[in-house]
Amino acid sequence: MKRYGDTYALKGLSFTVARGEVYGLLGPNGAGKTTTLRAIAGALRPTRGRILVEGVDPAREPLRVKRLVGVVPELPSLFPELTVRDNLEFIAGIYGFSRSEARRRARETAEALGLGDYLGVRYGRLSKGLKRRVDIAAALIHDPPILLLDEPTSGLDVIAASRLRERIAALARQGKTVVLSSHYIEEVMALADRALILYRGSKIVEGTPAMLRRVLSKKRVTIYYTGEPPQSLSVEAREALGAYGVEDLKIERGALSFKASRTVEALEASIRLLRERGLRVVDVEVLPPSWDDVFKAHIEAAGGRAACPCGGRAG
């Protein structure tokens, strides 16, 4: 638990990350993602509760934990006045590597992240995407088994973000344990083996992407037909489908669509209805729910108001 004055930044949060796993922390701004990561990294003391990183409590032995984890903070925060090389060598030096070892590590880590050409460029002059990559290099310079990434792609354009995701996936394949926060549901789902949804400092749900996706999820069903629908179709459809958890029912000329949790039954019932009214069903489309829908559903089920997870800066 973490409290700031009267505000609970984290409350009753508990989870375990397995070695080698990619674990996602998903939540809207202010949910407590950064607070969680900082507490794991030993840069913040929980008001109550305990964290263990490879058996070491970061609140008690922050220096030991800091050697086990590499952190990519929410905002680019290396030294803008220094070059990429100087930044990386400085950080390697803090971890206690000799000058020549620091130099070697800086070069190799930078090259591994495709930063070889930028070693002599000042950090402050790099694009956001490149800064992020340097941040990752800095977090990896001491070859930690655990990597904490706080909203790594926020503020990047689509292409830079997807490249960065590939790099993160590659690190996971190399055996790093990765804990990643994001308010983009797609990102966590694309990268994480398991994830939890964090809302107002508490865990809403935890599981594999498929589980998170299935639970409470409603698929969008569209049935295409030909023929002239009777005026009463809308009312009749509402009656026929009410039992199957149908929402957002729309009837247009040529298409009937809704969101449903019991998809198969709702689909059968609506096809039957359309045929009884003399219409010809020509096609059926069932789309998986968007991650935003899943996210909102989880939050609503937990009694919170749905916050749009789809934009804005992180807190």
Partner 1 sequence: MRALRIFAKDLRAYYLKAPVLSWGILFPVTVMALMSLNMRMFGESRVVPAMFSITLLFASSSMAQVAISFEKLSGALARILYLPLTGADLVLAKSLGGIAYGIGGAGVAALVSYIVAGHLVMIRPLYFILGVVLGAVVYSLISVLIAFYYDPVHAVAVLNIVRFSMVFLGGILFPKAFMPPRLAWLAYLFPSVYVTEVIRFGMYNTWDYIDPYTSLIVLAIAIAALAYASARIIIRILTP
Q: According to the binding rule CB under 8 A, does residue 51 interact with partner 1?
A: no
Taking the mean position of all CA atoms in its chain, how far away is CA 146?
17
Q: According to the binding rule CB under 6 A, does residue 226 interact with ligand ADP?
A: no
Q: State the amino acid at position 73 in one-letter form.
A: P
Indicate the residue among 1 and 255 with the shorter CB distance to ligand ADP: 1
Q: According to the binding rule CB under 6 A, does residue 27 interact with ligand ADP?
A: yes
**Helix boundaries (H) for the chain:** 33-40, 62-68, 84-94, 99-112, 128-140, 158-173, 185-191, 209-214, 233-241, 263-276, 291-301
Binding residues (CB under 5 A) for Mg ion: these are 33-34, 74, 314
Report the partner that residue 81 touches, choosing among partner 1, Mg ion, ligand ADP, none (CB closer than 5 to 8 A by kind).
partner 1
Q: According to the binding rule CB under 6 A, does residue 4 interact with ligand ADP?
A: yes
| Phi, psi for 40 (deg, rounded to 5) | -65, -35
Stretch that binds partner 1, among 83-91, 216-224, 231-239, 268-276 (CB under 8 A): 83-91
d(CA 188, CA 181): 7
Report the partner that residue 78 touches, choosing among ligand ADP, Mg ion, partner 1, none (CB closer than 5 to 8 A by kind).
partner 1
Indicate the residue among 63 and 158 with the shorter CB distance to partner 1: 63
Buried b (16+ CB within 10 A) or exposed e, 55-89: ebebeeebeebbbbbbbbbbebebeeeebbbbbbb
Indicate the residue among 29 and 290 with the shorter CB distance to Mg ion: 29
Report the partner that residue 32 touches, choosing among ligand ADP, Mg ion, partner 1, none (CB closer than 5 to 8 A by kind).
ligand ADP
User: Residue number with the shortest CB distance to Mg ion?
Assistant: 34
d(CA 234, CA 240): 10
Q: According to the binding rule CB under 8 A, does residue 163 interact with partner 1?
A: no
Biggest CA pair distance of the chain: 82
Report the partner that residue 94 touches, choosing among Mg ion, ligand ADP, partner 1, none (CB closer than 5 to 8 A by kind).
partner 1
114: alpha, beta or left? (left if phi > 0; alpha if psi -120 to 50) = left
Q: According to the binding rule CB under 8 A, does residue 73 interact with partner 1?
A: yes
Q: CB 100 → partner 1: shortest distance, Å?
A: 14
Report the partner that residue 79 touches, choosing among Mg ion, ligand ADP, partner 1, none (CB closer than 5 to 8 A by kind).
partner 1
Among 265, 268, 274, 283, CA closest to 233: 274
Q: According to the binding rule CB under 8 A, does residue 43 interact with partner 1?
A: yes
Contacts of residue 292, defined as CB under 8 A and 6 or more positions apart, other chains included, come to 185, 308, 309, 310
- Pair of tokens at residue 167: 């790099």
Where do contacts with partner 1 occur on this chain (CB under 8 A)?
4, 41-45, 62-63, 66-67, 69, 71, 73, 75-82, 86, 90-91, 93-96, 139
